[in-house]
A = this chain, B = another copy of it.
Amino acid sequence: MTKTAGSLPWMVLNEKMRKFFVLISLIGILNLYAEDGSRLWLPDSYQEQPAVIQTKVKSETVSIAVKELESYWKGAPVKLLKIKDKTLACDGFRIEGDYDSQVTIRAASDIGLLYGAYHLLRLQETENLSQSFKIQEQPAYALRLLNHWDNLDGTIERGYAGYSLWKWKELPETISPRYEQYARANASIGINGTVLNNVNASPDILKTEYLQKVRVIADVFRPYGIKVYLSVNMASPKVLDDLADADPWNPAVIRWWKNKAQEIYRLIPDFGGFLVKANSEGQPGPQDYGRTHADGANLLADVLKPYGGIVMWRAFVYNPDQDDRAKQAYREFVHLDGQFRDNVILQVKNGPVDFQPREPFNPLFGNMSQTPLMPELQITQEYLGFSNHLVFLAPQWKEFFDSDTYCQGEGSTVAQVTNGSIFPHRLTAIAGVANTGEDINWCGHPFAQANWYAFGRLAWDPGLSSDRIADEWLKQTFTKEEAFVAPARSIMLQSWETAVSYMMPLGLHHQFAWGHHYGPEPWCDVPGARPDWLPKYYHQADEEGIGFDRSSSGSNAVAQYFSPLKEQFNSLESCPEKYLLWFHHVPWNYPMKSGRTLWDEMCYHYDAGVQQVREFQKQWDKLEKYVDPERFRLVQSKLRIQAKDAVWWKDACLLYFQTFSNQVIPHEIERPVHELDDLMKIKLDMKHHN
């Protein structure tokens, strides 16, 4: 690749970057004390006198722990002790002591000491630490990963915070300071791995040229306990080195992967492994050669095994020819249970369709006792207003973790099914699709940072409450003042249900515009499009009613769940109303628990969503005095967009569905302000890459 040496740096800046620098300059001029959001939730309180920190451990990782504590710990001297203790698993730690006299952090590993240090600082920022305390922590999942859907050209699929953090063109020579900042932020919340590139993977990532760049990033991340992983394209041997095919049974192919693994581990000895999206949405895979997903996964597992690497094989697979997309991951994978190597883990999206505002959990969870499964959550708000809408996702993830699969009777929650407590797999993991980008505030929306934070915290401990996480994040990110924290937390805790209300209440799903997934397009009809990429496939509205019949009289997706869940979902009466239109085609006049008809209930939900966003606006504006002007204005401005969008969603969905229900919107409800015809003409010029 030719370097553009000689051209002025300014000339090669892209639009986003230019904005970034203009912003930087403006902030510099206008307000020296501006809070641009770049700090995230990390400590920044300057102290002249460093704290007293003692340790005998010498390592880069522990040095970071010492430095962080020296810089930001305001309490008694801290001792860091590495000990052997079977009650302390790999990343765990114990903190004992008293804020005013002495504090000791014990861990079995260097990274455990660093996690302990960050935890201590978090406690300082969020709790009253005057009492003596004794804390022991260890993570629920062994691997806690971010997945970056970042392309090698710098775009990010479903990224809404600017271009990629990874500057492939500059690497390996130039190392952006943000790589380390990123590692520090992740370490502070316990994230210990990251998949650098998009699951729709370019084979190029495995070129030596790119691996040398990856090595540099891995080197920066290593002291922070973060391993690097890569998404790989199953056609790589064919594309990169002209092999006849990419059949996992072809010895030449196997040899190719073996050599590639060797090359990688020579550069990056602690390389984490591969993430694979195969035979899904046009990606190549083992089925191209009549092999199974297990065949493909095992090929890679075998070549990585000698080095301790793993394969994360995605279960997000569905075929336009088959019935009900929601059933397909289950159909494709359950029968393969027991056929995977022990260093393969299936990566399963939380719901059976695709990161919708609300989905029931994917029935694969609990149904594959021989195979470790790792949840894939989406931090980036592909289906929840991008970086424009304030939607705190912890409540969504909590609903998922706490869902009872009943696979081993009552109490077999998704969290327990995946974290090794029900099926005792050595390999436990969780992934979140990252919402980061080169925006100065990392995530676009200041409150989107809270979702990154929440993912880390829940990956560590799915038992944490949403309330607690919001509280922690707000105090560290803004201020500890309760007059700010209480109302801001209240906004956060309501925000997900609010978005569900104005977008897709009562189990509706996938009513998004074609291409990008920002606005509503329930009427969407693209000639020749896959039916399961069209909203009509999901809403099934007609004169009788609305909703996808997945009951035993419909697609029978309910049968994929364990009893008594399948019966509960199967019955119109017992199905939770939040999933009603997910599982049933329901008559417009069906009486809901509120006493309203379904149609009226839908109207009330949409309207409640709108009114709640307006309420968030009022609440936020009242907090002006607690927040620096930059972030205050940015959130205010995003809430304005959200308020307009909520009305857009409401009007689009109600006016469109009204053409089927033929019923009036209850007269107490605020009236539409748009015309359906006009809304149907909206074609936003949004790419699904930023």
- Contact between A675 and B618 (Cβ–Cβ < 8 Å)? no
- Contact between A671 and B614 (Cβ–Cβ < 8 Å)? yes
Task: Report the copy number of this chain in the oligomer.
Answer: 2
Smallest CB gap from A645: residue in B: B673
Smallest CB gap from A640: residue in B: B673
Shortest distance from the beta carbon of A212 to any chain B beta carbon, whole Å? 44
- Lowest 5 A-B CB distances belong to which pairs? A617-B671, A643-B673, A640-B673, A644-B673, A622-B667
- Contact between A643 and B621 (Cβ–Cβ < 8 Å)? no
Kindly identify which residue among B614, B637, B641, B675 contacts A670, using a CB–CB cutoff of 8 Å. Answer: B614
Shortest distance from the beta carbon of A495 to any chain B beta carbon, whole Å? 16
With A639-B671, A644-B673, A675-B637 as contacts: A664 and B614 at CB distance below 8 Å: no
Any chain B CB within 8 A of the CB of A624?
yes
- Contact between B671 and A643 (Cβ–Cβ < 8 Å)? yes
Any chain B CB within 8 A of the CB of A665?
yes
- Contact between B624 and A672 (Cβ–Cβ < 8 Å)? no
Any chain B CB within 8 A of the CB of A674?
yes
Smallest CB gap from A636: residue in B: B671
- Contact between B624 and A664 (Cβ–Cβ < 8 Å)? yes
Interchain CA distance A614-B610 in the complex, whole Å? 14
Residues 633-687 of A contacting B (Cβ, < 8 Å): 636-637, 639-641, 643-644, 664-665, 667-668, 670-675
Interchain CA distance A622-B671 in the complex, whole Å? 11
Residues 526-583 of A contacting B (Cβ, < 8 Å): none
| Chain B residues whose CB sits within 8 angstroms of the CB of A665 once the complex forms | 621
Interchain CA distance A671-B624 in the complex, whole Å? 13
Interchain CA distance A277-B81 in the complex, whole Å? 95
Interchain CA distance A644-B624 in the complex, whole Å? 27
Q: Can you report 14 residue pairs joining A to B where beta carbons are below 8 Å apart?
A: A614-B670, A614-B671, A617-B671, A618-B668, A618-B670, A618-B671, A621-B664, A636-B671, A637-B675, A640-B671, A640-B674, A640-B675, A643-B671, A643-B673
Interchain CA distance A672-B613 in the complex, whole Å? 12
| Chain B residues whose CB sits within 8 angstroms of the CB of A668 once the complex forms | 618
- Contact between A667 and B637 (Cβ–Cβ < 8 Å)? no
Kindly identify which residue among B621, B644, B667 contacts A621, using a CB–CB cutoff of 8 Å. Answer: B667
Smallest CB gap from A637: residue in B: B675
| Chain B residues whose CB sits within 8 angstroms of the CB of A640 once the complex forms | 671-675
Interchain CA distance A637-B668 in the complex, whole Å? 18
Interchain CA distance A672-B668 in the complex, whole Å? 23
| Chain B residues whose CB sits within 8 angstroms of the CB of A672 once the complex forms | 640
| Chain B residues whose CB sits within 8 angstroms of the CB of A637 once the complex forms | 675
Smallest CB gap from A622: residue in B: B667
| Chain B residues whose CB sits within 8 angstroms of the CB of A671 once the complex forms | 614, 617-618, 621, 636, 639-640, 643
Interchain CA distance A636-B651 in the complex, whole Å? 14
Shortest distance from the beta carbon of A341 to any chain B beta carbon, whole Å? 54
Shortest distance from the beta carbon of A658 to any chain B beta carbon, whole Å? 12
Smallest CB gap from A624: residue in B: B664
Smallest CB gap from A667: residue in B: B622
Besides A621-B667, A643-B673, A644-B673, 4 more A-B contacts (Cβ < 8 Å) are A614-B670, A618-B667, A639-B671, A641-B673
Shortest distance from the beta carbon of A427 to any chain B beta carbon, whole Å? 48
Smallest CB gap from A644: residue in B: B673
Smallest CB gap from A639: residue in B: B671
Smallest CB gap from A670: residue in B: B614
| Chain B residues whose CB sits within 8 angstroms of the CB of A664 once the complex forms | 621, 624
Smallest CB gap from A671: residue in B: B617
Shortest distance from the beta carbon of A633 to any chain B beta carbon, whole Å? 10
Residues 460-486 of A contacting B (Cβ, < 8 Å): none
Interchain CA distance A207-B621 in the complex, whole Å? 64
Shortest distance from the beta carbon of A683 to any chain B beta carbon, whole Å? 20
Interchain CA distance A670-B640 in the complex, whole Å? 11
| Chain B residues whose CB sits within 8 angstroms of the CB of A618 once the complex forms | 667-668, 670-671
| Chain B residues whose CB sits within 8 angstroms of the CB of A643 once the complex forms | 671, 673
Smallest CB gap from A641: residue in B: B673
| Chain B residues whose CB sits within 8 angstroms of the CB of A621 once the complex forms | 664-665, 667, 671
Residues 490-539 of A contacting B (Cβ, < 8 Å): none
Residues 330-367 of A contacting B (Cβ, < 8 Å): none
| Chain B residues whose CB sits within 8 angstroms of the CB of A667 once the complex forms | 618, 621-622
Interchain CA distance A674-B647 in the complex, whole Å? 13
Interchain CA distance A670-B671 in the complex, whole Å? 16
Interface centre among A614, A664, A668, A671 (most CB of B within 10 A): A671
Interchain CA distance A614-B647 in the complex, whole Å? 13
Shortest distance from the beta carbon of A94 to any chain B beta carbon, whole Å? 46
| Chain B residues whose CB sits within 8 angstroms of the CB of A636 once the complex forms | 671
Shortest distance from the beta carbon of A641 to any chain B beta carbon, whole Å? 8
Shortest distance from the beta carbon of A629 to any chain B beta carbon, whole Å? 13
Shortest distance from the beta carbon of A307 to any chain B beta carbon, whole Å? 53
| Chain B residues whose CB sits within 8 angstroms of the CB of A644 once the complex forms | 673-674
| Chain B residues whose CB sits within 8 angstroms of the CB of A641 once the complex forms | 673
Interchain CA distance A673-B639 in the complex, whole Å? 8
Smallest CB gap from A611: residue in B: B670
Smallest CB gap from A646: residue in B: B673
Shortest distance from the beta carbon of A492 to any chain B beta carbon, whole Å? 18
Shortest distance from the beta carbon of A11 to any chain B beta carbon, whole Å? 27
Interchain CA distance A624-B671 in the complex, whole Å? 13
Interface centre among A618, A622, A639, A641 (most CB of B within 10 A): A618
Interface centre among A617, A621, A665, A673 (most CB of B within 10 A): A673
Residues 598-634 of A contacting B (Cβ, < 8 Å): 614, 617-618, 621-622, 624
Residues 118-160 of A contacting B (Cβ, < 8 Å): none
| Chain B residues whose CB sits within 8 angstroms of the CB of A624 once the complex forms | 664
Shortest distance from the beta carbon of A682 to any chain B beta carbon, whole Å? 14
Interchain CA distance A640-B651 in the complex, whole Å? 11
| Chain B residues whose CB sits within 8 angstroms of the CB of A639 once the complex forms | 671
